[in-house]
Homo-oligomer: A and B are copies of this chain.
Amino acid sequence: MSSTANSSPLTSPNRHKIVVCTDLGPALPLLTERHDIDVFLVQFAWMLQNVVGASGLVVCFQDIVDREVVDAAGPNLRVVSTISVGYEHITLEVMADHGIQVGYTPDILTDAVADSAVMLALMASRRAGQSYTFVKDNQWPTFHWTPFAFCGSQISTTSFSPTRTVGFLGFGRIAHAVLQRLSAFGITHCIYTPRPGAPDQAARDENLRSHLNLVSVAQVDLQTLARKSDVLFLLAPGGEATRHLIDEAFLRLMRPTSVLVNNGRGSVVDSTALAKALKEGWIWGAGLDVVDEEPQVGPEHPLVKEPKCVVLPHIGSAALETREEMARLTARNVLAGVLGERLPVGLDYSRLI
């Protein structure tokens, strides 16, 4: 059965209380249709008042799960299940102290994010933001067509322009899914800069090269990544190690026909430097699903004002089937946790703290 935030926070013996702070959509019945579970749907702001006695807690990436929350829940709490691939919002040391399992939803969103990365690359190269606004602003009726109006750079190869290099900062699952998609656009070369200290992957790279029928796949340093990428995808994690890694010095090395796409974390890019790079033509365009200090990004933000910059509000994984699957996994994780079973996808946080 399900209850609202106004119901009693207490639950009966032999039943498990799960507090759900986010929208599980069509996956909610996985919890509410069970007779051994009481589900409390609450907004996170009211969670501290409702979490007492809970065995399970369901949150999203915006909900901070720290010692205060765990103390408020009390000793019944066995599992925190987050509908996200990240877990920076959960204080793992506190989870370890109390033996609380953490469920999350990695991998599921790989294809949805890869689709949106390719979309942003095409939109930035082909000036989709500018031309979309052009129609909305009633400029099409008086437009005098000429062969070079609205021309963009071209992601795909052609018989008269037969090579392209795609670059990746961060070269994990999502990058591989993007590379696979772009291989069908005729991309010939792939270069990437992995996280510092990553093991050599020459054998894997040769497999990728051969499987996708590319000319080369190679690990390079940051300067080479900047100089040689026709399309550069930023898919690196956030944090201090990558903060403003894409700065003025990096952007000045890039090509005037190149396109930058960020589907990773906004903090990786220095927004002021990127706006300058676009204004002065150091690069061709940018497609950003994430921006430093989002969501405080309005129409006066220097990147939103740049005509050749497409800014979307962090919708990389916002595909219905993907989010439904994330919601199902989140429900199955919390359910397994409260029943004392192994989580379908649990975080092994012992190596992270």
Q: How far is the CA of A70 from the CA of B203 in the complex (A)?
A: 65
A185 within 8 A of B: yes
Give chain B residues whose Cβ lies under 8 Å from the Cβ of A325.
158, 160-161
Contact for A132 among B129, B142, B161, CB less than 8 A: B129
Q: Which residue of B lies closest to A212 (CB)?
A: B184
The answer to the question of A224 belonging to the interface, with a C-beta cut-off of 8 Å to chain B, is: no
Asked if A151 meets B184 with Cβ closer than 8 Å, knowing A122-B119, A146-B22, the reply is no
Binding site for B on A (CB under 8 A): 22-25, 60-62, 83, 108, 110-112, 114-116, 118-119, 122-123, 125-129, 131-143, 145-158, 160-161, 180-186, 257, 294-299, 304, 310-315, 318-323, 325-327
- How many of these chains are in the complex? 2
Report the minimal beta-carbon distance from A279 to chain B, rounded to whole angstroms: 18
Q: Give the shortest distance, in Å, between A52 (CB) and chain B (any CB).
A: 25
Residues of B within 8 A of A23 (CB): 146-148
Does the CB pair B143–A111 fall under 8 Å? no
- A134 and B295 CA atoms in complex are apart in Å by 12
Chain B neighbourhood of A119, CB < 8 A: 119, 122-123, 126, 128
Cα–Cα, bound, A177→B251 (Å): 32
Can you show 25 pairs from A to B with CB atoms below 8 A apart?
A23-B148, A60-B145, A61-B145, A111-B154, A114-B156, A115-B126, A118-B122, A127-B315, A132-B132, A132-B312, A135-B298, A135-B311, A136-B299, A138-B299, A140-B298, A148-B323, A150-B315, A152-B320, A153-B319, A158-B321, A158-B325, A160-B325, A181-B185, A182-B184, A257-B320
Question: In the assembled complex, which residues on chain B have CB atoms less than 8 Å from the CB atom of A62?
Answer: 145
Q: Report how far A143 CA is from B183 CA in the complex, Å.
A: 36
Collect the chain B residues with CB atoms within 8 Å of residue A122's CB: 115-116, 118-119, 122
Across-interface contacts of A132 in B (CB, < 8 A): 129, 132, 310-312
Using known A-B contacts A23-B148, A119-B126, A323-B147, determine if residue A112 contacts B156 with beta carbons closer than 8 Å: yes
B319 touches A143 (CB 8 A): no
Q: How far is the CB of A162 from chain B (nearest CB, A)?
A: 11
**Minimum Cβ distance to chain B for residue A140 (Å):** 5
Question: How far is it, in angstroms, between the C-alpha of A323 and the C-alpha of B128 when the chains are bound?
Answer: 17
Report B-chain residues with C-beta under 8 Å of the C-beta of A152.
315, 318-320
Q: Which residues of B contact A310 (CB under 8 A)?
A: 132
Residues of B within 8 A of A326 (CB): 147
Smallest beta-carbon distance A334→chain B, Å? 14
Asked if B25 and A148 sit within 8 Å, CB to CB, the answer is yes
Please, which residues of chain B bring their CB within 8 A of the CB of A156? Answer: 111-112, 114-115, 181
Q: Which residues of B contact A118 (CB under 8 A)?
A: 118, 122
**Known contacts A119-B126, A126-B318, A142-B295; can you find 10 more A-B pairs with CB under 8 A?**
A115-B154, A119-B123, A123-B123, A125-B319, A141-B295, A151-B319, A153-B321, A154-B319, A156-B181, A181-B181
Q: Point out the residues of chain B lying under 8 angstroms from A147, CB to CB.
A: 22-25, 60, 83, 323, 326-327
Residues of B within 8 A of A123 (CB): 119, 123, 128
Contact of A160 among B148, B297, B321 (CB under 8 A): B321
Q: How far is the CA of A127 from the CA of B318 in the complex (A)?
A: 9
